[in-house]
Amino acid sequence: MKRIKLSILAFIFITLSILPIACNTSDEINKKPDITGSISTSPPQSEAGLVLEDKAPDFTLQTINGEMIKLSDFKGKTVMINMWWAGCEGCVEEIPHIQKAFTKISENNPDWAILTINVWDTSISLRKFIENKKITFSVLIDPDKKLPQGYLKYGVPTTFFLDVNGIVREVKHEIFQNPDEIEATFMSLQRYNLQ
């Protein structure tokens, strides 16, 4: 009887010890450092994120230079929307691939558009980051947190590809390994533009 009680207690102890790890309940996972080095919590996330076949909610955001960009202005184009943050290692790793794809696409494919949305950095730190990385694509910012939360559900990096009617056709939760992967995804979406 004593052995059974000890076994049950050991099982409960082990279960309670590993439960926070298995469920990612640690508050540290959802915290990000701000530019002063202190810890801030991440932006709130919605109950449901955008999924395939969803109509992408419209938004109007400003670029780092203050230009206002509206998603609906891109109707009739195939659009890539990349959500990122400069403190995200994967996001930073894929930026050169996005830059190369943007350069090639802007020269050869006027019906394709790349929009990137920085979801965390301050304007000051973001300007320095853009200069250091020699980014020429438009970086949208959301200082007033007006972006529909469905875009933020999956964290960063997350990339949505929309067809010419603004329907979500691809959702990528991993980083791009090369610029050709971005171009190939754009090419695969052309089948929806013929419908």
CB neighbours of residue 137 within 10 Å = 20
Which residue has tokens 């969803």? 54
Q: What is the mean pLDDT of residues 131-138?
A: 94
Token output for 168: 């979500």
Residue-averaged pLDDT of the chain: 81
Q: Are 78 and 160 in contact (CB under 8 A)?
A: no
Contact 69, 115 (CB under 8 A): yes
Q: What is the spatial distance between Cα 83 and Cα 28, in angstroms, rounded to a whole number?
A: 21
Predicted confidence (pLDDT) at residue 10 exceeds the cutoff of 60: no
Question: Which ranges constitute the DSSP H helices of the chain?
Answer: 2-23, 89-108, 123-133, 179-188, 190-193
CA distance 15 to 13: 5
How does DSSP classify residue 52?
A: T
Whole-structure pTM value: 0.75
Question: Can you give the pLDDT at residue 42?
Answer: 38
Residue 16 pLDDT level (bands cut at 50, 70, 90): very low
Range 41-51 average pLDDT: 58
pLDDT level of residue 48 (50, 70, 90 thresholds): confident
Q: How far is Cα 80 from Cα 94, in angstroms, rounded to an integer?
A: 14
Query: Does residue 71 contact residue 115 with C-beta atoms inside 8 Å?
Result: yes
Helix, strand or coil, per DSSP, at residue 122: coil
Provide the 3-class DSSP secondary structure of residue 84: strand
Q: Where does 42-193 sit in CATH, by number? A: 3.40.30.10
CA distances from 170 to 21, 56, 167, 188 (A): 30, 12, 9, 10
